[in-house]
Structure 1
Amino acid sequence: MSIEATVNAALNLENFALHQSAQLNLLRETLDNQARTVTAIVEAATPKLATSGPLGTNVNTYA
C-alpha cells in the first residue's frame, strides 16, 4: 500500500467518523424532542385530582 493510499484511507475514515457523529447528534436531538412531546401528551391526558372542596377529596374507606 502506498503512502498516498494510506493517507487517503485515513482521511476517508476521519470524514466517515465526523459524518457518523453528526448523524448521532441529530438522532439524539430527535429522540429528546419526541420524549418531550410524549411526556406533554401523557401529562395532558392524565386527569387532575381534586385538592379542595366537598367532592373528590375524601375517600370513604369503610366498607
Structure 2
Amino acid sequence: MDSAVNNMVNASLAMQQAQVAQQAQLSVFKEALDGQAAHISALMETISLEPMLATSGSVGTLINTTA
C-alpha cells in the first residue's frame, strides 16, 4: 500500500513541476509575441498610405505606375 501512495505522490509532484515549467515557457512566449507586436506596430506606422512616384529612372517618374 505504501508504494502505491508513494507513486501517487511522486506523480503529483512531477505534474506540478511540469506545470511550473510550462507556465514559465508560456510567459517567455507571450513576452516574445508582445515584442514582435511592438516592432510590427512601429513598422506599420512608418508606411505611407499614399504611393510615391519614382524619383529616378525612365519608368514611373511622370505617371504613378504602382497602381
Give me the TM-score of the superposition, normalised by structure 1: 0.68
Q: Does 1:21 align with 2:27?
A: no
How many angstroms does 1:46 deviate by? 2.7
Does 1:9 find its partner at 2:6? no
Residues matched between the structures, number: 48
List runs of 5+ in structure 1 lacking aligned partners. Answer: 49-63
1:47 Cα shift? 5.3
Aligned to 1:58: none
Gaps of 5+ in 2: 51-67
**Counterpart in 2 of 1:44?**
46
Could you say what the CA RMSD is over the residues aligned between the two structures, in angstroms? 1.7
Q: Separation in 2 of the partners of 1:22 and 1:46?
A: 39
* Paired amino acid for 1:32: D
Deviation beyond 6 Å, 4+ runs, structure 1: none
Name 1:30's counterpart in structure 2.
Answer: 32
One-letter amino acid matched to 2:4: S
- Name the % identity: 31
Q: TM-score, normalised by structure 2?
A: 0.65
